[in-house]
């Protein structure tokens, strides 16, 4: 019977992954290590209430004694490492937090696994899946081909640099200690339970309240969008069938400029909530952020050909499902948007956004 340690499982992707894991492996024991900061919400996991095989541990992934204790107390066979500070804007304001969580936290986990897994290459070998980002590859031009797993790293924000450092640590532990590490790099996720600092839920929240929706620069920066359920299915494929020591890109093949994405989102929201009126009037162009990467795009041919995964949810379907979820969970939105969140918005965008 598998014992899976999931870090950051109360966050956006982590909580969606836990539901996918439970459906895929109903008998698995799950240990969820989460510090429950502003973006980690136990309400995301109400479906696990009464589940005797689920354990929530509130704690810091960089806490060496705590992490070692978990490996001593439980026969952990798999690690899925989501826990990370992930918002670029926040990394510009406070990079030290990103170094601690993303770099020191990953090192702490790797070291605890190395000490606990005495025979990492045996017939019942454990597996350590480190979940990373496309931002480690840096910015692409409009005509550059999507990057493969062999592309050089070129991070340009404190967030991207901290994730790149974590990736390199994972690779070093595989090559030096034969720790069975797998790494995934994904494009921008969206879907249920996403904290409203990120573009799609943020724009939805602002639109529902009739407040300005700030877009950096001219809104021409391009991102590839991946529905979170597709991402979770890819992670399960890598965890179960991926080759240790390998990296797999996971993308949605849905490249869209930010301004166009917001207009599509508002158009669909307007269909579902016509009472909100003309929502495009809320779009407000603001000065660009420092070091704003122009475009991200991933070549996902490796995971398609070797593991048989491909994205299944198109952008319009994914946006409709996302909007429907948020419209049905406005009470959840009210509770997660604390005073600390409003203070961050004011610091980042000014009083006109917060109102």
Backbone angles phi, psi at 10, to 5 degrees: -95, 0
On the CB side of 30, CA atoms within 13 Å amount to: 30
- CATH number at 183 reads 3.40.50.720
User: Is the pLDDT reported for residue 249 higher than 90?
Assistant: yes
Token look-up 């969140």 returns 341
Average pLDDT, the chain: 92
Write out the residue range of the structural domain in which residue 141 sits.
3-190+226-250
Q: Kindly state whether residue 179 falls inside one of the protein's structural domains.
A: yes
pLDDT tens for each residue of 114-171: 999 987 655 568 999 999 999 999 999 989 999 999 999 999 999 999 999 999 999 9
Q: Is residue 291 part of a domain?
A: no
Residue 163 lies in a domain: yes
pLDDT exceeds 50 at position 221: yes
Q: For residue 85, what are the CA distances in angstroms to 51, 163, 181, 247?
A: 28, 9, 21, 21
Domain assignment of residue 255, yes or no: no
Contacts of 85 (CB under 8 A, 6+ apart): 91, 97, 98, 101, 102, 159, 162
Q: Is 32 part of any domain?
A: yes
Question: Does residue 23 lie within any of the structural domains?
Answer: yes
Which residues are known catalytic residues? 134-135, 159
Per the CB < 8 A criterion, the answer to whether 45 and 70 are in contact is no
In-domain check, residue 339: no
The model's pLDDT over 253-312, given as tens digits with 9 standing for 90+, comes to 999 999 999 999 999 999 999 999 999 999 999 998 787 888 999 999 999 999 999 999
- With 0.75 as the threshold, say if the pTM is over it: yes
Between CA 286 and CA 309 the distance in angstroms is 38
Whether residue 29 lies inside any domain: the answer is: yes
User: Three-state DSSP class for 189?
Assistant: strand
pLDDT value, residue 60: 95
**Parallel, antiparallel or unpaired: strands 222-227 and 255-257:** antiparallel
Structural domain count of the chain: 1
Residue 352 has pLDDT above 80, yes or no: no
């Amino acid at each position: 019977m598998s014992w899976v340690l999931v870090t950051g499982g109360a966050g956006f992707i982590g909580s969606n992954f836990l539901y996918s894991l439970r459906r895929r492996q109903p008998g698995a024991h799950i240990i969820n290590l989460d510090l429950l900061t502003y973006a980690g919400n136990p309400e995301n996991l109400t479906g696990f209430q009464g589940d005797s095989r689920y354990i929530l541990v509130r704690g810091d992934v960089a806490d060496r004694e705590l992490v070692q204790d978990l490996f001593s107390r439980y026969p952990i066979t798999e690690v899925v490492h989501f826990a990370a500070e992930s918002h670029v804007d926040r990394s510009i304001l406070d990079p030290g937090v990103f170094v601690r969580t993303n770099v020191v936290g990953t090192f702490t986990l790797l070291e605890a696994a190395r000490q606990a897994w005495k025979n990492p290459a045996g017939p019942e070998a454990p597996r350590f899946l480190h979940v990373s980002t496309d931002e480690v590859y840096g910015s692409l031009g409009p005509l550059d081909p999507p990057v493969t797993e062999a592309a050089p790293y070129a991070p340009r924000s404190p967030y991207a640099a901290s994730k790149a450092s974590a990736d390199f640590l994972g690779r070093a532990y595989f090559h030096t200690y034969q720790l069975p590490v797998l790494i995934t790099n994904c494009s921008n996720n969206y879907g249920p339970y996403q904290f409203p600092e990120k573009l799609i839920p943020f724009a939805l929240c602002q639109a529902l309240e009739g407040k300005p929706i700030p877009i950096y620069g001219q809104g021409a920066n391009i991102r590839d969008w991946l529905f979170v359920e597709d991402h979770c299915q890819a992670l399960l494929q890598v965890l179960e069938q991926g080759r240790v020591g390998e990296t797999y890109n996971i993308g949605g093949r849905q490249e869209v400029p930010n301004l166009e994405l917001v207009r599509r989102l508002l158009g669909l929201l307007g269909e579902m909530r016509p009472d909100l009126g003309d929502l495009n009037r809320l779009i407000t162009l603001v000065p660009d952020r420092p070091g704003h990467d122009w475009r991200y795009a991933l070549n996902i041919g490796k995971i398609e050909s070797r593991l048989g995964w491909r994205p299944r949810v198109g952008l319009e379907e994914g946006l409709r499902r996302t909007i429907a979820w948020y419209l049905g969970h406005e009470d959840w939105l009210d509770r997660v948007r604390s005073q600390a969140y409003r203070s961050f918005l004011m610091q980042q965008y000014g009083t006109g956004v917060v109102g």
